[in-house]
Structure 1
Amino acid sequence: MRLKSALPLLALALATAALPACGGDPPGPPAPVAATDTPAGTPSTPDADDPAVSPSARAGLGSAKPSPSSAPAALRAGNPDGKAAVPAEARAVDTSRPTRTVGSGTPASCTSAAVVKAVAAGGIITFDCGPAPVTITMKATAKVVNAHGPRIVLDGGGKVTLSGGGSRRILYMNTCDQAQGWTTSHCQNQEFPQLTVQNLTFTGGNSTGEKAEGGGGGAIFVRGGRVKVVNSRFVDNRCDRTGPDLGGAALRVLSQFENKPVYVVGSTFTGGVCANGAALSSIGVSWTVLNSVFRDNRAVGTGANPARGGTPGGGSGGAIYCDGNEFTVRIAGTVIEDNSANEGGGAIFFVSNDRTGTMTISSSTLRRNPSKGFETKGFPGIFFLGARPPSVSSSHLS
């Protein structure tokens, strides 16, 4: 497919090569007051549902009830025809012995407050909301406390939907947020906490107006540690509609430990709307996306990055937006279709500022992902600046 306009591509390539704001990780925090491995504090102005103090193992959260891992989850997300091999570390976590359980067997017992407290307490979290599917509308954002864990797993058992009600972000983890406690003196590159969401649906998340760390992350925002998504759905999430570099209506990720990849496995992303990256967005982060589906997501900003004069910026990466220096993106067994971008990369926007980044696409289908401004010749739906052209095998791009 021929490039729609050579001049915009050349101009963007030259501009992004010199763009300092997008190179690597966002700025780190100031040095901790004391160099210790204990958290510096807890939120001084918590949301209404936030715990007043760090909760103990099961206090007020329901009993921890076994949920055999052999029982199949009712939710079926992702691409059923995807055959990409899933490495052991990318698979679902065994939650047959949960640390705590949200709910006591009825839908009414599964509340926003219970979710907020469970996430703050950490550990393996399951749900007991009765036999039928349930939607929990969050009254406050659930926030990871960095000293708790070291692994936080939310497993909805295929029956739980967490909703932001169209008015708030659903889940938040940030190792560099002093309000959530610092656990190392190098928060931008620490191994824990590690967050896994599996067998869950996230809908109605909205981070519009959230400007900390550059904003974005309508359903989930993560900086630091590691994050993994398995067999989950993201439906109709939102973030700010303008801005040159913010994004991630479903998921915004920054500063992963040792640049190890974010795994997205067997998951579906639909109906996301944001300035950029209407499903996934990151700066300086690597991704491995396996057997997943991205459909009907829209990057609605205008002016690209850096923003053209007289515009607010944005509009790139209808499904996926990746910026930074050295990072990798691997997409396998995945369908990316009917997404769109007002500027570049109706399916994928990939800019490695120092031209060290690489992307591979295998056994995947990318189709009907219009880039209304610019894309890379020969790669429909993709705008790419990196070490070498994307490696594409056993895939269909149209």
Structure 2
Amino acid sequence: MPVKPGTFLLVIGLAAALVSGCGRSADDEPPTPPPTSSGSPSAISGPATGTNDGLGAAPTGTPSASPSRSTTTVARAGNPSGGATVPAEGRAVDTSRPTRVIGTGTGASCTGRAVVAAVAAGGVITFNCGPDPVTITMTETAKVRNANGPRIVLDGGGKVTLSGGGRHRILYMNTCDQAQGWTTSHCDNQDHPQLTVQNLTFADGNSTGEKTEGGGGGAIFVRGGQFKVVNSRFVRNKCDRTGPDLGGAAIRVLSQYQGKPVYVVNSTFGGAAGQGGSCSNGGALSSIGVAWVVLNSVFSHNEAIGQGANPARGGTPGGGSGGAIYCDGNTFTVRIAGSIIENNHAEEGGGAVFFVSNDRSGTMRIESSTLRRNPSDGFETQGLPGIFFLGASRPTTTGSKLS
């Protein structure tokens, strides 16, 4: 595979540059704040902003509590042939007794305004939007209030699409954002809030121009607490087109509690031509210093479209790595099992996965998975098609096919 000029210099200088670009010092931490609290909004419906299209292929799963029973058939998210065992901490949350319900039985009653209010109030949230799939178009980002919870569960029952309308990020949680309330003196390492999204589709999210914490996260941005994704789909999400280290057209995650992994289970990112995510780096997922466990999921037709890699080559804005998944930091792990990663593309390195552990302590495992047709236009690790890897040792691959 041809290698772009400057690639070898990139590899030599990559670790040192990433340490300075990605690390956080004690000086970056906010001062110790007093705990804050916010009241629970009562509104769970409002003026109609949804349409009953649902993309025609919302994820299935345990439905939210609802008096209506759907007769509409919806496609399942994730890889149905994936046989990876899902541990208890990676499974869907029981939402049979929700804290609050969005909607009153019709599509028109399920609005973006109601979603924003419910997420701010926290708790276990389900939808009652009638028997048919519904798309709820967000006119602003739903933001988690850190004092409300400690669990926030958003369950679409397999029939709800949250859309950013191509203009807005859809969901945001940041334990270090003073505007959302500080709840501890160590915001980057606290066990709450614990955010779960399940049985939902996230479509047309766009975080372009969002600069908080470096940007990225076209559909969902998370810093701190704990986070997982179950039985969900992500389609046509975007973030900034350039930048050496920002990423995550679908999801961007920083600073998880005690280094616990983010679980991505039975979920699809892209899934068909024209449905994938697009960002400078990480066409689906992006993180710094965060561990991932990806089980029985599908990543396809996602793209990293930046140019110049990281650190950015002279005369370029940087980016273009991790067609599907972009991870860097120091000590972290990535485990991919029972999953399919195919037809993703990187302008620079790692058409499927870009993995850089700055101090070479990070590890990656690929189990019973298929990675194929993930071109890296610039560089990748010899013998690992679609992967650029710098870590403790060569990735472990068992029962998997890489081509």
CA distance in 2, matches of 1:310, 1:153: 44
Deviation at 1:22, TM superposition (A): 4.0
Q: Which runs of 5+ in 2 are unaligned?
A: 46-63, 271-275
Aligned length: 376
1:11 partnered with 2:9: yes
Give yes or no for contact 2:66–2:127 (8 Å, CA) kept in 1.
no
Deviation at 1:21, TM superposition (A): 2.9
The one of 266, 281, 285 aligned to 2:286: 281
State the match for 1:47 in structure 2: none
Give yes or no for contact 1:318–1:347 (8 Å, CA) kept in 2.
yes
Give yes or no for contact 1:22–1:324 (8 Å, CA) kept in 2.
no
Deviation at 1:7, TM superposition (A): 7.1
State the match for 1:201 in structure 2: 201
Give yes or no for contact 1:28–1:176 (8 Å, CA) kept in 2.
no
State the match for 1:162 in structure 2: 162
- TM-score of the superposition, structure 2-length normalised? 0.90
CA distance in 1, matches of 2:247, 2:310: 12
State the match for 1:120 in structure 2: 120
CA offsets 1:156-192 (integer angstroms, 9 cap, x no match): 0000000000001000000000000000010011100
SS of the residue 2:204 aligns to:
strand
Q: In structure 2, what residue type is equivalent to 1:131?
A: P
Counterpart mapping for 1:114-193 below 5 A:
114-193=114-193
State the match for 1:257 in structure 2: 257
The one of 44, 49, 61 aligned to 2:44: 61
State the match for 2:341 in structure 1: 336
Deviation at 1:66, TM superposition (A): 3.8
Deviation at 1:24, TM superposition (A): 4.3
RMSD value, Cα: 2.0
Deviation at 1:18, TM superposition (A): 1.1
State the match for 1:296 in structure 2: 301
SS of the residue 1:168 aligns to:
coil
SS of the residue 2:31 aligns to:
coil
- TM-score of the superposition, structure 1-length normalised? 0.91
Counterpart mapping for 1:13-162 below 5 A:
13-19=11-17, 20-24=19-23, 28-32=28-32, 34=33, 36=34, 38-39=35-36, 54-56=39-41, 59-61=42-44, 66=65, 74-162=74-162
Give yes or no for contact 2:355–2:390 (8 Å, CA) kept in 1.
yes
CA distance in 1, matches of 2:231, 2:170: 18
Q: In structure 2, what residue type is equivalent to 1:163?
A: S
Deviation at 1:23, TM superposition (A): 4.5
Deviation at 1:256, TM superposition (A): 0.4
1:397 partnered with 2:402: yes
Q: In structure 1, what residue type is equivalent to 2:12?
A: L
User: Percent of aligned pairs with the same residue?
Assistant: 70
Counterpart mapping for 1:317-328 below 5 A:
317-328=322-333
State the match for 2:229 in structure 1: 229
State the match for 1:246 in structure 2: 246
CA distance in 2, matches of 1:23, 1:241: 19
Deviation at 1:14, TM superposition (A): 1.4
CA offsets 1:118-170 (integer angstroms, 9 cap, x no match): 00000000000000000000011000000001000000000000000000100
SS of the residue 1:187 aligns to:
coil
Deviation at 1:15, TM superposition (A): 1.0
